[in-house]
Structure 1
Amino acid sequence: MTFSSSYPEKPPRVRFTSDIFHPNVYHDGTLCMDIIQDAWSPCHNVATILTSIQAICLVKDSLLTDPNALSPANPEAAQLFQHDMVAYNKRVRRCARKSIDCS
């Protein structure tokens, strides 16, 4: 997260620094997520942003467990997510392995 001098009136810039293949993540790692874009409010903070993106399977409506493939930042990931889950999961795992190997 990168905070500008206008935070909390403006949202921080949020991006993944490791490679991630996801319908709502641009190729540069920047997130396409409503609470850091159109729905930003100063009442949001680091905790609410992280809660929105965490991958806890019991949490519905989080970015990682329930991507919005209808408004994709990564059309290729959205297409695979909607039509070929096996290929999608394979790409996600490859990115995760690459991230671990680079650590």
Structure 2
Amino acid sequence: MSTPARRRLIRDFKKLQQDPPAGISAAPSETDVLKWTGVIFGPEDTVFEGGVFKLTLTFTEEYPNKPPVVKFVTKVFHPNFYYGDGGVCLDLLQNSWSPIYDVAAVLTSIQSLLCDPNPNSPANSEAARLYMENRREYNKRVQQCVEESWEI
């Protein structure tokens, strides 16, 4: 069944294949175009470098008018990611969503957030505290997540 949401997701996928942003990959499941798997590679020259972070993106038939639900499958120690369920605290996905955003924009924004966290709006208060008060310990915890990301 072709719906506006499904047609848009197919367009998003074709765009990702033709012009993929650096360090990002995503594709719909073979059985449901509303369920995607994404991968964000830790950006070079950051504490996340070398990490391979897997995510799920779940869309509704209201896409692109409503944002997807994005969750990390890989554990990521970061002020703006919920450590328990992998949820992402990103203004673009909550308050600033617009139909002009596509899958590439969502993943690029999350990748950017890896390098430039917002500790003033934390999903993980411990990560936010360490990021602001003890960067060495924060980096150590992130590095553990990077190394564990290779095992999944």
Is TM-score (shorter-chain normalized) higher than 0.5?
A: yes
Counterpart of 1:80 (choices 119, 127, 130) is 130
CA drift at 1:53: 1.7
- Partner SS for 2:126: helix
In 2: Cα distance, 1:2 partner to 1:19 partner: 18
Give the match's secondary structure for 2:74: coil
For the pair shown, the structure with the greater C-alpha radius of gyration is 2
Give the gaps of 5 or more residues in structure 2. 1-56
TM-score w.r.t. the length of structure 2 is 0.60
TM normalised by structure 1 equals 0.88
Matched residue SS, 1:15: strand
Q: Distance in 2 between matches of 1:11 and 1:91?
A: 30
Note the residue ranges of structure 1 that are not aligned, 5 or more in a row: 55-61
Distance 1:13 1:46 in 2: 11
Does structure 1 residue 69 correspond to structure 2 residue 119?
yes
Structure 2 residue 98 is matched with structure 1 residue 41: yes
Instruction: Identify the residue that residue 4 of structure 1 maps to in structure 2.
Output: 60
> How many residues get paired?
95
Q: Which SS does the other structure have where 1:64 is aligned?
A: helix
Q: Percent identity?
A: 53
Q: Which has the higher strand share?
A: 2
User: Structure 1 residue 74: deviation in Å?
Assistant: 0.3
Q: Which has the higher contact order (CA 8 A, sep 6+)?
A: 1
